[in-house]
């Protein structure tokens, strides 16, 4: 409370104004409010766990420092809950959030939580106005994080998290092509021992869409020879910039010990061209240019339906 002085600026008038009965009572009330003690902390068992709120679960407890070093400075996809330990809605969400963290681990999505009572400046900077607030940070941290507005269930949280990896955009859903997040790309492709052909693409790219059926068919045909993966550069923009991807689609074969120097595909964008490329580099099969690798369509059109004589070897790469 406050009161404005509007009288003459003289000592008698100032004294009279201060000791006016109504204003004296207002000043007394203001002083009493200023000395009112803060409310006690929440009693035990009501969610006042503070820093221990998510300890021992798959959810990463974040601080102001780790929020910057692990979330903002990494290329990983993150789901972050901004919460207050005393918040009833936060406590109700907690079991589903822990379950979602466990399920998202397999998709390369990291899950964290930040206590806004302990780190109010960070939450204010993130634009948090109520609890719980959940935001998804994609691999490109220059983009604004996306707010979660769906049901507070583990299944919906998992869908929201995986959507940030590019796997659930529907581009290769239902095929043998493996959608790769930045974390999965590093773990499975760069650090793995098995050969990978990786397509770097954007969903809006017409040439990427044209290649889609043959690439999916090649993923099935090459089972046991190499894995075929796909990185959505519209989602994993930072990773694609780091790898120097010049345009879409770009295909690179990661095989052998030197994963830092992959072989770029420059052949015919067809099932036969893709399988031939992988087999030549992974198995060393049919490197001679006069041996053709046939798919079902080529067999029907050129062998079964053609007039030229053919010698055909039916084989399995393994």
Active site residues: 87, 90, 205, 208
Q: How many helices (H) and strands (E) does the chain have?
A: 11, 10
Long-range contacts of 68-74 (CB under 8 A, 24+ apart): 70/110, 70/112, 71/112, 71/137, 71/141, 72/137, 72/141, 73/141, 74/141
Residue with tokens 């004294």: 15
Q: Is 102 exposed, middle or buried (0-12, 13-18, 19+ CB in 10 A)?
A: middle
Distance CA 183, CA 164 (A): 12
Cα–Cα dist 7/158, whole Å: 66
The DSSP symbol for 163 reads H
**In angstroms, rounded to a whole number, what is the distance separating the alpha carbons of residues 287 and 279?**
9
Q: Is 252 helix (H, G, I), strand (E, B) or coil?
A: strand
For the chain, what's the residue count? 318
Q: CA 32 to CA 229: how far, in whole Å? A: 68
Residue 261's SS3 state is coil
Give whole-number Cα distances, 38 to 30, 217, 289, in Å. Answer: 16, 66, 82
H or E stretch covering 125: helix 120-125
Enter the tokens of residue 47: 């969610």
d(CA 98, CA 111): 9
Burial, 289: exposed, middle or buried (Cβ in 10 Å; 0-12, 13-18, 19+)?
Answer: exposed
| Segment holding 22, helix H or strand E | helix 21-34
């Amino acid at each position: 409370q406050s009161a404005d002085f509007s009288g003459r600026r003289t000592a008698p008038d100032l004294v009279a104004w201060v000791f006016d009965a109504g204003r004296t009572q207002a000043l007394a009330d203001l002083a009493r409010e200023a000395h009112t003690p803060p409310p006690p902390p929440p009693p035990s068992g009501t969610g006042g766990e503070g820093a221990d709120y998510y300890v021992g679960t798959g959810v990463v407890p974040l601080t102001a420092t780790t929020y910057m070093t692990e979330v903002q400075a990494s290329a990983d996809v993150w789901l972050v809950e901004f919460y207050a330990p005393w918040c009833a809605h936060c406590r109700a969400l907690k079991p589903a959030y822990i379950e979602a963290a466990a399920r998202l681990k397999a998709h390369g999505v990291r899950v964290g939580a930040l206590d806004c009572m302990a780190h109010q400046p960070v939450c204010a900077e993130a634009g948090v106005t109520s609890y719980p607030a959940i935001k998804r940070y994609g691999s490109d941290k220059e983009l604004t994080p996306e707010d979660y507005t769906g049901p507070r269930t583990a299944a919906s949280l998992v869908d929201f998290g995986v959507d940030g990896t590019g796997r659930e955009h529907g581009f290769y859903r239902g095929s043998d092509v493996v959608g790769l997040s930045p974390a999965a790309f590093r773990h499975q492709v760069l650090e793995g021992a098995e050969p990978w052909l990786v397509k770097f693409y954007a969903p809006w790219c017409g040439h990427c869409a044209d290649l889609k059926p043959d690439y999916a068919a090649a993923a099935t045909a090459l089972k046991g020879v190499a894995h075929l993966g796909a990185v959505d550069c519209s989602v994993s923009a930072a990773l694609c910039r780091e790898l120097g991807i010049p345009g879409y689609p770009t295909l690179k074969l990661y095989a052998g010990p030197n994963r830092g120097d992959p072989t770029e595909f420059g052949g015919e964008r067809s099932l036969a061209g893709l399988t031939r490329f992988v087999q030549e580099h992974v198995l060393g099969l049919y490197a001679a240019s006069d041996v053709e690798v046939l798919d079902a369509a080529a067999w029907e059109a050129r062998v079964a339906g053609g007039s030229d004589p053919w010698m055909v070897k039916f084989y399995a790469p393994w």
